[in-house]
Amino acid sequence: MTELADAPVAAPSTDLDHITHWIGGARVPGSSGRQGPVFNPSTGVQSGVVDLASVDEVDAAVRSAKAAFRTWRSVPLGRRAELFFSIRQLVHAHREDIARLLVAEHGKVLSDAMGEVARGLEVIEYACGLPTLLKGGFSEQASSGIDVYSIRQPLGVVAGITPFNFPAMVPMWMWAPALACGNCFVLKPSEKDPSSSLFVAELLKQAGLPDGVFTVVQGDKVAVDALLEHPDVSAVSFVGSTPIARYIYENGTKRGKRVQALGGAKNHMVVLPDADVEMAADAAVSAAYGSAGERCMAVSVVVAVGGVGDDLVPAIQKRLPDVKVGDGLDPASEMGPLVTREHRDKVAGYLDSGASQGATVVADGRSTVPEGDGFFLGVSLLDNVTPEMDAYRDEIFGPVLSVVRVDTYEEALRLVNDNPYGNGTAIFTRDGGVARQFQFDVNAGMVGINVPIPVPVAYYSFGGWKASLFGDSHAYGPESIHFYTRGKVVTSRWPDPATSKVDLGFPQTR
């Protein structure tokens, strides 16, 4: 979570990229006088300044979106779908350009960034089916001469507030279904890695999206609060940390907005004694350290059941020296830096707190960082972690994997279910009966069976339980179509003067 009220102000410089807003189909430089720094995490060097919107600038952005709505919602479904096919083509053609922007500002390695864009593209592809997705129902002869049908209509101007860790994909989770449903969308990206949003805005314009339908306001808490308070914003989608998700949900719904707010996570991977230990170790290393652990679906805790830890921890440890940590543009790198220096230092602090609270530090990533000023932390492993320790209680969001050892499946299940978060979880076993029981019993929104990162495909919906999601709707997939539209039911009769009469009774169907 960032404290944005005190966002540092960087003096504009000709050497730095100037990252502006996107309003009315054009780059619009900020006028608030406030800017924030953007860094290349691999070098630790500031690469840009991002404008931070004022309340008035957010108002101008929302007004521009509102003005575009009337025309956009009237665009025939076939034309909208055609436009989405063009968007899909352009994003696909420029996927590496987008990925390189992600590497430059987030730090993740290029292959991982390409994966991010690919998963976002799947959501765009899903949205291409919008004529089918928006079909309503029809009941002929619900009563004599009366037909009843349901339609779904867009909400108007909807906003999306997104986190730093998926600067392209998470916005795609939101804008693709929101626009497909006929809304105008105002995006407030993370101020840590804002450039890809502007690039995508250019692509949407190039595809033929009318001006004002997609808007980007760069900013911090000021912009977020302005969106939450704006009377013309009908709905807010948020993805980020749990305290801010709760804040967004409470403050958005208080003002009558529809809100879905996805929060943080602490994902457990339960490994049973009958699991294939080598496969479980591969999965744990991949899921814990991919994207330097900065994924809301990263495995943060391995729960080793009934002695399997004695084989599993050495198997994980054996793999760690092979994980190549380095600049995301180096094809040899498998794991990049963390997003900021402060975040890296905070994550590294869990190695000290873990040691002082009784965990065994199997691997300390501070000793395996590349040279230079990049925000690197190597892969780190804590064994014998217990639920009272900070490393277990907090969402670390970095390359520190904890192993908790328990005696039984029931104990493992209790641990997962007692955790305040409920985003993803996984079980590794060869026993189909136990796996099915886990799927039945576990309190989490996304479950993997021998799959460590069970991010649903685009035609299902993504979301957690408990403190990982506030609101009723999950992201993308069918639930997003529901979230970004409201239902209307029409009861219709064509006048037949021959049967018309005055009847003050309550309408009945039989």
Please give the residue ranges that form the binding site for ligand NAD (CB under 6 A): 1-2, 4, 161-166, 170, 188, 190-191, 220-221, 224, 239-241, 244, 262-265, 296, 395, 397, 423, 464, 468
Torsion sign, CA atoms 299, 300, 306, 308 = positive
Supply the minimum distance, in Å, between the C-beta of residue 380 and ligand NAD: 18
Contact 437, 419 (CB under 8 A): no
User: CA–CA separation, 184 vs 176, rounded Å?
Assistant: 11
104 vs 134, which CB is nearer to ligand NAD? 104
Q: 181 an active-site residue? A: no
72 vs 421, which CB is nearer to ligand NAD? 421
Contact 323, 289 (CB under 8 A): yes
Q: Which residues contact 128 (CB under 8 A, 6 or more apart)?
A: 81, 84, 85, 88, 180
> Which of 155, 162, 212, 207 is closest to 181 using CA atoms?
155
Residue 154 three-state SS: strand
Supply the minimum distance, in Å, between the C-beta of residue 145 and ligand NAD: 49
84 vs 173, which CB is nearer to ligand NAD? 173
> Which of 58, 51, 55, 42 is closest to 106 using CA atoms?
42
Supply the minimum distance, in Å, between the C-beta of residue 166 and ligand NAD: 6
CA–CA distance from 461 to each of 146, 172, 173, 344, 482 (Å)? 36, 13, 10, 31, 11
HEC-encoded secondary structure of 7-50: CCCCCCCCCCEEECEEECCEEECCCCCCEEEEEECCCCEEEEEE
Supply the minimum distance, in Å, between the C-beta of residue 126 and ligand NAD: 17
164 vs 438, which CB is nearer to ligand NAD? 164
38 vs 277, which CB is nearer to ligand NAD? 38
List 128, 181, 184, 296, catalytic entry: 296
Supply the minimum distance, in Å, between the C-beta of residue 277 and ligand NAD: 28
Q: Which residues contact 436 (CB under 8 A, 6 or more apart)?
A: none
Query: Whose CB is nearest to ligand NAD?
Result: 240
Q: Which regions of 100-232 does DSSP assign to beta strands (E)?
A: 138-143, 146-154, 157-161, 184-188, 214-216
342 vs 407, which CB is nearer to ligand NAD? 342
Contact 397, 192 (CB under 8 A): no
Please count the other Cβ atoms lying within 10 Å of the Cβ belonging to residue 284: 27
Supply the minimum distance, in Å, between the C-beta of residue 58 and ligand NAD: 12
| Amino acid found at 440 | F
Positions marked active-site: 296
